[in-house]
């Protein structure tokens, strides 16, 4: 959409009528993705493109925008250009904890939008295994949160859980995560005790969570697939599929029984049904 706005606006009156059709404008994608690799994407747009859009285009369409997709480096410029009275959904691409924290503490425009207008906030985080979340970066205003991480992360305990526990007003939660841990698999009991019990208003929870364990000396029995499936008996979950796999490092093949301690790689993939994500973890 950015390329269309930059290239075709004001070329002809007919083009303007098509481009500014409310059907297309109400969900505005202000990113331009370039793939460096499967997991490494750049969403920034050039300064000259951003300048033209902010000066000549946003003032003409701002009152029609309901949903906005934007990368973090353009956020401040776009939000301060003009008001968006109909905006209720914000997707922040390529996020980092440091920048998100800065915006949530220093950017009064964003805080006002989150407090008064935004009911759906989606965060697409850059991969970073060193993140730690601050108490001041709570985003408890949102009613809907979609948290996506396409690479394996070790930040589940020290970043993701503390963040989610503070979002007490959530009505819908979407998680797409691949987690590295030295603990047991993420299952229905763990999700409820660590996250869902802190969200009294939650009425919809969709997820795809892959737990990966690579450990030399695990001294506890990992859950079986049957155990994992039984952990989702609570009514909050609906239909859930689970798959547990074990790969002994010595033989590089699946195994259904093992002695403890043992050298292995193991994973468990759980997801809600019907499956709503575009990718599967392998």
Question: Rounded distance, CA 228 to CA 269, Å?
Answer: 10
Q: Which of 136-150, 242-256, 267-281 has the highest mean pLDDT?
A: 267-281
Which tokens is 195 given? 């996250």
Domain range summary for the chain, segments of one domain joined by + = 26-272
Question: Rounded distance, CA 231 to CA 256, Å?
Answer: 20
Whether 21 shows a pLDDT value over 80: the answer reads no
Predicted TM-score of the model (pTM): 0.58
pLDDT value at residue 257: 34
Return the higher-pLDDT residue of 280 and 268.
268
Return the higher-pLDDT residue of 187 and 264.
187
Whether 86 shows a pLDDT value over 80: the answer reads yes
Whether 221 shows a pLDDT value over 50: the answer reads yes
pLDDT value at residue 142: 63
Span 127-140, average pLDDT: 43
Lowest average pLDDT, out of 57-71, 73-87, 101-115, 168-182, goes to 101-115
């Amino acid at each position: 959409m950015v390329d269309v706005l930059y290239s075709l606006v004001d070329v002809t009156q007919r083009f303007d009528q098509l481009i500014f059709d409310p059907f297309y404008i109400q969900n505005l994608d202000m990113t331009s993705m370039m793939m460096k690799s499967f997991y490494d994407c750049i969403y920034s747009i050039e300064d000259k493109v951003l300048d033209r859009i902010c000066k000549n285009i946003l003032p003409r369409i701002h009152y029609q925008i309901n949903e906005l997709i934007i990368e973090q480096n353009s956020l401040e410029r776009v939000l301060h250009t003009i008001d968006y009275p109909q905006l209720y959904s914000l997707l922040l691409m390529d996020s980092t904890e440091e920048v998100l924290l800065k915006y949530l503490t220093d950017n009064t425009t964003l805080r006002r939008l989150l407090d008064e207008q935004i009911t759906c906030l989606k965060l697409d985080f850059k991969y970073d295994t060193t993140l730690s979340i601050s108490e001041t970066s709570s985003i408890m205003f949102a009613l809907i949160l979609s948290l996506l991480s396409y690479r394996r992360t070790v930040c589940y305990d020290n970043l993701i859980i503390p963040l989610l526990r503070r979002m007490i007003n959530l009505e819908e939660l979407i998680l797409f995560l691949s987690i590295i841990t030295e603990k047991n698999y993420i299952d229905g009991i763990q999700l409820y005790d660590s996250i869902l019990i802190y969200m009294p208003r939650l009425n919809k929870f969709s997820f795809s969570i892959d737990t990966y364990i690579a450990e030399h000396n695990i001294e506890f029995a990992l859950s079986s697939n049957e155990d994992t499936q039984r952990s989702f008996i609570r009514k909050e979950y609906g239909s859930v599929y689970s798959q547990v796999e074990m790969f002994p490092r010595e033989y590089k093949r699946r195994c259904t029984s093992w002695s403890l301690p043992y050298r292995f790689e193991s994973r468990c993939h759980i997801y809600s049904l019907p499956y709503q994500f575009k990718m599967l973890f392998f």
